């Protein structure tokens, strides 16, 4: 019997998604009217971790996640330094909101 009794009923596919999806839920709850820089960072990390675990042959998803990772790192560094970013950056970053990234992880 597994020591993790509460999670033992989950399939391996659901277990792979549990960590990234929990980060997405937290990001979704803190998003108000815009995507925050920490949320952008968490979403892109969640997506990249999940894709690294399951792998993908979809070139456009690889590009989406890699670009998102770069944006996420820029976002968290600027947040840590209390620097603002351009409105264009936030506009592009919005395509990494919790709903979109969660949908991608949920569908794969």
Q: What is the mean pLDDT of residues 17-41?
A: 74
| Residues near 61 by beta carbon (within 8 Å), at least 6 away in sequence | 51, 104
Query: Is residue 4, in this structure, part of any structural domain at all?
Result: no
Residues 50 and 56: their CA atoms lie apart, in Å, by: 10
pLDDT per position as a tens digit, 57-79 = 889 999 999 999 999 999 999 99
Specify the pLDDT at position 8. Answer: 67
Cβ–Cβ < 8 Å for 41, 76:
yes
pTM for this prediction: 0.74
Cite the DSSP H helix spans in the chain. 12-30, 37-54, 59-80, 87-93, 98-107
Query: Is residue 101, in this structure, part of any structural domain at all?
Result: yes
Range of the domain at 21: 12-107
Residue 92 reports pLDDT greater than 80: yes
Query: Is residue 3, in this structure, part of any structural domain at all?
Result: no
Band (50; pLDDT cuts 50, 70, 90): confident
């Amino acid at each position: 019997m597994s020591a993790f009794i509460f999670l033992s009923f989950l399939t391996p596919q659901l277990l792979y998604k549990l960590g990234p999806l929990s980060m997405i839920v937290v990001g979704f709850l803190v998003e108000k009217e815009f995507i925050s820089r920490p949320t952008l960072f968490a979403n892109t990390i969640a997506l990249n971790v999940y894709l690294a675990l399951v792998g993908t042959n979809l070139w456009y998803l690889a590009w989406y996640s890699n670009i998102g990772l770069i944006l996420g790192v820029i976002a968290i560094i600027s947040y840590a330094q209390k620097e603002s970013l351009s409105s264009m950056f936030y506009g592009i970053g919005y395509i990494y909101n919790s709903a979109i990234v969660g949908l991608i992880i949920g569908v794969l």
